[in-house]
Chains A and B, each alone.
Chain A
Amino acid sequence: MEPVATTFFFYLLSGLAILSGVLVITRKNPVHSALALILTLLCLAGLYLMLYAPFVAGVQIILYVGGIMVLFLFVIMLVNLERSQKEKQFNRQWVAGILAAVALGGLLVAIYTKGSALFVRPELLFPEAENTQQVGQMLYGNYMLPFEIASLLLLVAIIGAVVMAKKRI
């Protein structure tokens, strides 16, 4: 199915994503930051849909918005201090932050203006009806070993998180 009004939705979603990304790093209250990050993640899921990647979009919503962000909100409620909101929110590294941002941004702009030969190939259109099937075949075919390693990584993360957060082992 051809997407409708691609340009409009692209600018709407990307503008919302960047705006709420700014909110994530400027809000005082971490709960507000988390809510802004959820909005960013949802906008990115919309962008994935526009890029013919419905499976990644679904994984993004279920895993990120439904899993990781709920974890974040729980931890914020565990450690949220009224005191920490009255403290200074930014450390003294803002010069380093601005320098790194300018350097990285300049690097990316340079790459995108000079290396435009990377993007001139005609865009393939993947029929999104077979997208999930193809991703699954790749996960269990080409990427079998990374898939197993990822499952091992998750096991390590589960045990690690329990060990870290437990009072006494």
Chain B
Amino acid sequence: MRVRKTKSRRTEMTPVTTLHYLVVAAALFVLGVIGVLTRRNVVIVLMSVELILNAVNLNLVAFSRIWGLHGQVFAIFVITDAAAEAAVGLGILIAFFRNKETVNVDEVDLLKW
């Protein structure tokens, strides 16, 4: 009885380590990869790319707790890149929509043979 009590108390008090954050980031990364590869709507593909970038950011910030602040600075750079990517990607999306009247990625197949 006492043993079980201490055991449950120990599992309850498990500290959240860096590895926990890395597992969450890996799950988000895999979700983003699935979204990029399987969705047809360009907007959702771009959102999946944002999901991937955020998973990487979570990794960087989690490691910055062990190795110093460099990870946080790099996360800020990644956010800047994400903003640039979103702006250009959505510009391309609007041009694409104006030409083809569709938002499906698999209908852009001019280079495919």
Main secondary structure of the interface of B (DSSP, over half): helix
Point out the residue from A18, A30, A167 that lies within 8 Å of B43, measured CB to CB.
A30
**A51-B84 CB under 8 A given contacts A14-B24, A90-B40:** no
Which residues of the other chain, B, contact A47 by a CB distance below 8 angstroms? 21, 24, 58, 61
What is the total of A-B residue contacts with beta carbons within 8 Å?
A: 237
CA distance A70 to B105 in the complex (A): 22
How many residues on the B side are at the interface (Cβ–Cβ under 8 A)? 74
B73 touches A139 (CB 8 A): yes
Q: Give the size range of A's interface with the partner.
A: 35 or more
Main secondary structure of the interface of A (DSSP, over half): helix
Residues of B within 8 A of A (CB): 12-24, 26-35, 37-41, 43-44, 46-48, 50-51, 54, 57-58, 61-62, 64-66, 68-70, 72-73, 75-77, 79-88, 90-95, 97-98, 102-106
Residues of A within 8 A of B (CB): 6-7, 10, 14, 17-18, 21-22, 24-25, 27, 30, 33-34, 37, 40-41, 44, 47-48, 50-53, 55-56, 59-60, 63-64, 67-68, 71-72, 75-76, 78-79, 81, 84, 87-91, 93-94, 96-98, 100-101, 104-105, 108-109, 112, 116, 119, 121, 123-124, 126, 131, 134-135, 138-139, 142-143, 146, 150, 153-154, 156-158, 160-165, 167
